[in-house]
């Protein structure tokens, strides 16, 4: 497995990371814990060194799973987690309130260290920008945690270029995590030029379009009530039917390259920039191996251009987020 660098502070990770959220949250019922621990071990055995979680996934249980599953590999893997949410007691304890106040960030860090069973958090992302707290204060709080040896690198998620610049001036940002795939290319215009200029890495989540680009989801697919996609406008049956044209384009390229649609979608991201590290998630060993196969698919500049030309002709239908979630991105 090739390595890639995120930021300028020496953070080196496998070219393909692993998004752990779906093991216990977001895409249907939580999976069997021991099976997921075995899958984490399988990922490490195959060269993956970069794992992504967050306190809000579950909540808490995903961090606990990752902490237990990766305990045998301390010092050999990089674990990223996130702060920035607070359960709202007025709403039955639902996690729909943002909180990036410095004292809260420090409390979250202590709790995450315990759940992850680590002495320092490798990469600590602000999960969503909190407009009630100046980003300079957020970056300053993480800087203090870095100085105290409790955090190694600072990250942001779904932030705007302007906010990234302000944070970076206080504490260098190692990576931005945001959605990016052939299904959602907006970051190319909104943030990627800034990331390149400042030397910040990019960690795309949902690089397979929340599974849509694998070709395994169609208009007839039924989502569990606990599956986030059940409330995503882009995933209504009508929109899935319309957006199938994009999957068809990717599938055509996959046949030419003797690869799967998922591998082409990931290979495209890997070919875009050397400082991009996608984090596809899965709960199945076969899918993990398929995803890792993308690192062996070579796409030339001409291949990338042809894929983009063909896919950009497809008019994609539906917003990528419901209204509340959409209001929290690009701040």
Dist CA 77 CA 60 (whole Å): 20
Label each residue of 37-49 as H, E or C.
HHHHHHHHHCCCC
Residues 6+ apart with CB under 8 A from 227: 26, 27, 28
Tell me how far apart the terminal alpha carbons of the chain are, to the nearest angstrom.
Answer: 35
Cα–Cα distance for residue pair 247/212, rounded to 1 Å: 8
Q: Is 57 a catalytic residue?
A: yes
CA 25 to chain centre: 14
Return d(Cα 136, Cα 145) in angstroms, integer.
14
3-state secondary structure of 4: strand
Residue carrying the six token digits 């990922």:
43
Catalytic residues: 57
């Amino acid at each position: 497995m090739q390595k890639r660098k995120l930021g300028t502070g020496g953070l080196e990770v496998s070219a393909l990371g692993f998004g752990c959220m779906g093991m216990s949250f977001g895409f249907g019922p939580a999976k069997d814990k021991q099976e997921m621990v075995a899958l984490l071990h399988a990922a490490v055995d195959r060269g993956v060194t970069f794992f992504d979680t967050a306190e809000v996934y579950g909540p808490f249980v995903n961090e606990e799973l990752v902490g237990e599953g990766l305990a045998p590999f301390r010092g050999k893997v990089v674990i990223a987690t996130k702060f920035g949410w607070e359960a709202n007691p007025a709403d039955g304890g639902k996690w729909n309130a943002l909180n990036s106040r410095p004292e809260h960030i420090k409390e979250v860090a202590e709790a995450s260290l315990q759940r992850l069973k680590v002495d320092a958090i490798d990469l600590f992302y602000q999960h969503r920008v909190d407009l009630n707290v100046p980003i300079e204060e957020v970056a300053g709080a993480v800087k203090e945690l870095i100085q105290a040896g409790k955090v190694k690198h600072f990250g942001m998620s779904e932030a705007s270029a302007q906010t990234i610049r302000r944070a970076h001036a206080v504490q260098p940002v190692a990576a931005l995590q945001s959605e990016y795939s052939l299904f959602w290319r907006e970051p190319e215009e909104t943030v990627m030029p800034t990331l390149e200029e400042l030397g910040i890495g990019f960690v795309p989540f949902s690089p397979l379009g929340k599974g849509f680009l694998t070709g395994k989801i169609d208009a007839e697919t039924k989502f569990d009530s606990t599956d986030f996609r059940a409330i995503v406008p882009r995933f209504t049956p009508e929109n899935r039917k319309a957006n199938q044209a994009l999957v068809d384009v990717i599938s055509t390229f996959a046949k030419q390259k003797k690869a799967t649609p998922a591998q082409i979608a990931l290979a495209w991201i890997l070919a875009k920039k050397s400082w991009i590290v996608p984090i596809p998630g899965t709960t199945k060993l076969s899918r993990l191996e398929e995803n890792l196969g993308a690192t062996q698919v070579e796409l030339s500049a001409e291949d990338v251009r042809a894929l983009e030309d063909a896919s950009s002709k497809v008019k994609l239908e539906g917003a990528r987020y419901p209204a509340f979630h959409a209001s929290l991105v690009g701040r």
